[in-house]
């Protein structure tokens, strides 16, 4: 481990929270392989946190083990250490506050729909609420609820209703809420000047595509596309997941393509494989490159 290690890790953390997410968000290939793209987004976020924490850990170790650290070395490494402590504290605080707020909101929402919701043979297994606008969404959790409004059932055909319900049940079954909660925690953990919302927004779009894929397998692409068009303006309550929570235009165009179709002449399976490989490298390579030298230096300092 050299004196530049904390600086390299700090720069890497900043790159992974700013320019890298911006470039990834502008790419078109994630729509073809949303699962692999979501894994890559998670790897980028995790690598950013590990880099920030590694910068502080390596800075502290270098200062402690250096025989005669210069003033600039102490200052530079102190900045890395402070940033690491700030990120760690904000990460823990964000996980606590966001998780508590979301669970409380969803618990109240479940209680309300359990009181006012009713069953309807047109939407088996869902709770039907009598509100003015067409809505369909999932209240995620251990005891999830799929909610659909009476106007939505009136506007949708039976095959379209089945597609919408399959979409919402896919959200509940895959616990997409936990994926988005993780991105929300990481978004709030970084200082305002260093954070970016594109990761959270992109992840929200990708989980909708994953639920679309499940609904397409269940009901077909055409009924789902028609349902998305009819429900395009449907609102989604805070804390819920729903087919109207992301602009559906891209998703409808995506449904017109065959599953696994090539993107720019490159097979979808190859794109997915490259994305998974890059995700593994993002997490493994920096971790090994930092952890091994850091642990070696620390052991030399602590053990005679």
Task: Check residues 151 and 72 and name the one with the higher pLDDT.
Answer: 151
Helix (H) or strand (E) holding 149: strand 145-149
Q: Is the pLDDT of residue 291 over 70?
A: no
Task: Check residues 292 and 285 and name the one with the higher pLDDT.
Answer: 285
Contact (CB, 8 A) for 127 and 146: yes
Q: What is the pLDDT of residues 170-184, one digit of tens each?
A: 999 999 999 999 988
Contact (CB, 8 A) for 125 and 145: no
DSSP letter assigned to residue 31: G
Which pLDDT does position 300 carry in this prediction? 66
Contact (CB, 8 A) for 165 and 219: no
Q: What is the pLDDT of residues 239-251, one digit of tens each?
A: 888 655 457 788 8
Which pLDDT does position 186 carry in this prediction? 82
- Residue 80's pLDDT band, with cuts at 50, 70 and 90, is low
Q: Give the range with max mean pLDDT: 35-44, 228-237, 243-252, 285-294.
A: 35-44
């Amino acid at each position: 481990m050299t004196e530049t290690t904390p600086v390299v890790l700090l720069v890497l953390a900043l790159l992974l929270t700013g320019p890298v997410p911006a470039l990834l968000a502008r790419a078109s290939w994630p729509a073809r392989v949303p699962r692999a793209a979501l894994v890559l987004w998670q790897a980028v976020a995790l690598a950013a946190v590990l880099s920030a924490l590694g910068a502080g850990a390596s800075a502290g170790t270098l200062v402690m083990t250096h025989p005669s650290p210069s003033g600039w070395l102490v200052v530079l490494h102190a900045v890395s250490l402070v940033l690491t402590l700030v990120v760690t504290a904000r990460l823990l605080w964000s996980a606590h506050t966001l998780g508590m707020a979301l669970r409380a909101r969803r618990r109240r929402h479940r209680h309300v729909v359990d009181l006012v919701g009713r069953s309807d043979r047109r939407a088996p297994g869902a709770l039907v609420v009598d509100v003015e606008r067409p809505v369909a969404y999932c209240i995620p959790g251990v005891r999830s609820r799929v909610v659909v409004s009476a106007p939505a059932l009136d506007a949708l055909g039976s095959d379209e209703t089945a597609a919408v319900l399959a979409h919402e049940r896919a959200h509940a079954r895959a616990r997409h809420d936990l994926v988005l909660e993780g991105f929300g925690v990481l978004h709030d953990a970084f200082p305002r000047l260093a954070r970016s919302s594109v990761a959270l927004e992109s992840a929200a779009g990708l989980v909708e595509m994953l639920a679309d894929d499940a609904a397409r397998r269940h009901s077909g692409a055409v009924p789902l596309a028609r349902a998305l068009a009819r429900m395009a303006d449907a609102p989604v309550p805070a804390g819920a997941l729903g087919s109207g929570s992301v602009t559906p235009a891209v998703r409808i165009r995506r449904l017109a393509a065959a599953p696994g179709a090539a993107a720019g002449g490159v097979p979808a399976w190859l794109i997915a494989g490259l994305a998974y490989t890059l995700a593994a490298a993002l997490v493994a390579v920096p971790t090994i490159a930092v952890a091994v030298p850091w642990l070696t230096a620390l052991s030399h300092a602590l053990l005679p």
